[in-house]
Structure 1
Amino acid sequence: MKAQNQTTQHLIDGDTSAALDRITDWCKERKLPAYRGRQIHEHLVEQRTLNPSDMTTLPKMIREELSETLLAPTVTINTVLRSTDGTLKFLFDLTDGKSVEAVWIPTQERGTLCVSSQVGCAAGCTFCATGTMKLTRNLSASEIVGQWNAVDQFTRGEGKVGVTQLVFMGMGEPLHNYPSVSGALNWLTSPDGFDMSPRRITVSTVGIVPKIPKLVAEHPQIRLAVSLHSAVEETRARIVPIQSKHSLSDLLDTLSRLRHKVRRISLEYVVLPGVNDDVQEALALAAFARKCHGHINLLPFHPFDGAPFKAADEDTVERFREEVSRHYDGQVTARRSRGLDIDGACGQLAIKGSKPQGE
């Protein structure tokens, strides 16, 4: 049955609208009946089965060749760490020997997956463990979607809710890898793909100003989160090095122009005691949020090896929240930390050798 051996682009790395045609052509090359193509497509988009070995209506020979061509595995679960609060951290092996992490967080009837878009990160935020890794490479759309699918299948297999919400807040800066992130979003949300509601997806960026309008134009229903961390130019320049390329004023102008074109703008703010939590910072944050109608989301800083900041306790975060709320009528919330005991909280994802932190 095998056709001539050649490198085949993974199906998820192509357009959703062309998927059925590609599967049909793949079957024709192998002289398979047309209904086999329909079976493969049904397994993929209706049953959300990316692993050919689970396509049990297909003969073993077809499953094996799919695993070597159109649907070759892109990510493999290496390790799952379990937090006492129910959070799960996944270490994924990639086919080139690199690794990434993703975190699944259960809340009531929801399961939120924090997915990675790069191996490492070039943004270099000083309060984030991933920034200490530097950037190794971008992930492909199939590697991003592969994380979602693997965690969804794993958690459902344990009788849990699966992945109902998706946030691009794992390792990497999503807008530094826009083609793959956009391709993954297309597959995840398209009726020709996995038909997930875009309103359940959030893309977070440290503020790559030229790419934000493109993201909003091409994916208007997704939620946008901006890793702000200070609305004072000098402070942000110290803790978010990429500030030197994309100024705070340009970021605010962009968000203000787009505020009516996006479902919601969240302003993510890691509270660093003695750095960005005084009254001046609160006033600046409130003024920034007013201009772009942002939902302010405060997070405590979570320490990691070699971190230059001390941890923020809940009282510190709450005091800052109250100060900001005095000057801003919009939403100001404080996010509860999850997965701290497995180094799975915000800003803690980093690979040490081939093992996740905390193991």
Structure 2
Amino acid sequence: MKKETIKGQGAVSNVHNHFEKNRYEQSIYQDDYEEDIAKTQVIPIFPKTIVNKVKSPDLHMAYSMNPYQGCEHGCAYCYARPTHEYWGYSAGVDFERVILAKKNAPELLEQFFKKRGYVPESILLSGNTDCYQPVERKMQITRRLLQVFLDYRHPVNILTKNALVTRDIDILSQLAEKNLVTVSLSIPTINEDLRRKLEPRTSSVNTKLKAIETLTQNGIPVHIMVAPMIPGLNTMEILPIVKTIAEKGALACGYTLVRLNDTVEPVFKEWLAEHYPDRQDKVLHQISTLHGGKLGEKSVAKRRKGEGNIADMIHTSFKVAKQKYFANKEMPKLTTDLFDGTKGEQLRLF
């Protein structure tokens, strides 16, 4: 009899942290788990900085920031999983069940804005882990960060998989009025059955699509990341996805190719064997054709473009889809002209 996996969890086990000498494993099966182990553990932390300088030449932003380390969404393919190992946790179950919350993030952002000689450039909110993952409902760190952006009139780009972003329409609308915000929603599939398995604790497909409409109706520019593209799982959806998001009001879309770097590889392999054993070998083989026979790719020059027939098919499909559905649309360039490093202090006098 097939064991029942824990609802809302992506990783099948705690894969070995390669920084640790000792190895331990925890299955996600109900009969192997105590009830309290399966719950999310939130650990407050107080870092010294929150804004990161982006140095990668293929990423078109100057700064990023992540209010949480680890992510409850449970996406098996998530490139951020190996970062949890630096904190002494596994990239598997731990990544989505042990969340480090940076409670002093808003205060740190204010300090960053007040630095002498700071020249404002748009900051990406997320980029590693999701700023609107489920724990944000209670913690509200992201909401507090948005208020700081508004107080200082500083531009911000938001990247998320969660329709919880619409909770903050009141702040986002004020930012949008001043051309200070864009929202990028990640929608790798419009197949709800695949979505439940692929990214189990993200918003449902219908809820994400409704979020596009809600944001658009409130004047907030929406970009969609159709990512990652995984051969044999979602590449057949490219045209339907692009058509659907355009009809809902999105102004642009982008995509990336799946890469199984470092400990993402064993997590994804276990997930694939659990949910799609019939096509496991086919999917892994097709992923390897994207990266010269490897499942991962760290080269900045190659990781986005990929290689081979399947990569070419993906690029061509998106080119055709964009020409058809986004020909007369574009995202606005956010302004930095309104920023004043003393603005937050002045507003608080009233």
Q: TM-score range by the shorter chain?
A: 0.5 to 0.7
- For 1:324 and 1:111, the matched residues in 2 are separated by 25
- Aligned CA distance change for structure 1 residues 299 and 262 (closer, same or farther; 3 Å): farther
Check whether the contact 1:112–1:165 (CA below 8 A) recurs between aligned residues.
yes
Q: Is 1:205 matched with 2:160?
A: yes
Give the TM-score normalised by the residue count of structure 1: 0.52
Secondary structure of the 1:230 match is: coil
How many aligned residue pairs are there?
Answer: 222
Aligned to 1:319: 316
Q: Is 1:139 matched with 2:102?
A: yes
> Percent of aligned pairs with the same residue?
9
Aligned to 1:165: 122
Q: 1:76 aligns with which of 21, 41, 48?
A: 48
Shift of residue 297, structure 1, vs aligned partner: 1.6
Check whether the contact 1:145–1:188 (CA below 8 A) recurs between aligned residues.
no
Check whether the contact 1:166–1:201 (CA below 8 A) recurs between aligned residues.
yes
- For 2:228 and 2:206, the matched residues in 1 are separated by 21
Aligned to 1:183: 144
Aligned to 2:231: 274
String of CA shifts for 1:170-216, please: whole Å, max 9, x gaps: 343222325211112212331xxxx233xx21222212x3x333222
Aligned to 1:233: 192
Shift of residue 231, structure 1, vs aligned partner: 2.2
Shift of residue 162, structure 1, vs aligned partner: 5.4
Check whether the contact 2:215–2:222 (CA below 8 A) recurs between aligned residues.
no
- For 2:257 and 2:113, the matched residues in 1 are separated by 26
- Aligned CA distance change for structure 1 residues 172 and 331 (closer, same or farther; 3 Å): farther
In structure 2, stretches of 5+ residues that fail to align are: 1-44, 82-90, 269-283, 291-303, 331-350
Which residue identity does 2:215 align to in structure 1? L
- For 2:226 and 2:73, the matched residues in 1 are separated by 16
Provide the alpha-carbon RMSD of the alignment. 3.6
Which residue identity does 2:168 align to in structure 1? L
Secondary structure of the 1:76 match is: coil
- For 2:167 and 2:131, the matched residues in 1 are separated by 13
Relative contact order (C-alpha < 8 Å, sep 6+): which is higher?
2
Which residue identity does 1:254 align to in structure 2? A
- Aligned CA distance change for structure 1 residues 112 and 326 (closer, same or farther; 3 Å): same
Aligned to 2:278: none
When Rg is computed on C-alpha atoms for both structures, the one with the higher figure is 1
Check whether the contact 2:109–2:148 (CA below 8 A) recurs between aligned residues.
no
- Aligned CA distance change for structure 1 residues 144 and 118 (closer, same or farther; 3 Å): farther
Shift of residue 145, structure 1, vs aligned partner: 5.2
Aligned to 2:183: 224
In structure 1, stretches of 5+ residues that fail to align are: 1-72, 78-91, 93-100, 334-359
- For 2:61 and 2:236, the matched residues in 1 are separated by 36
Which residue identity does 1:187 align to in structure 2? V
Structure with greater strand share of residues: 1
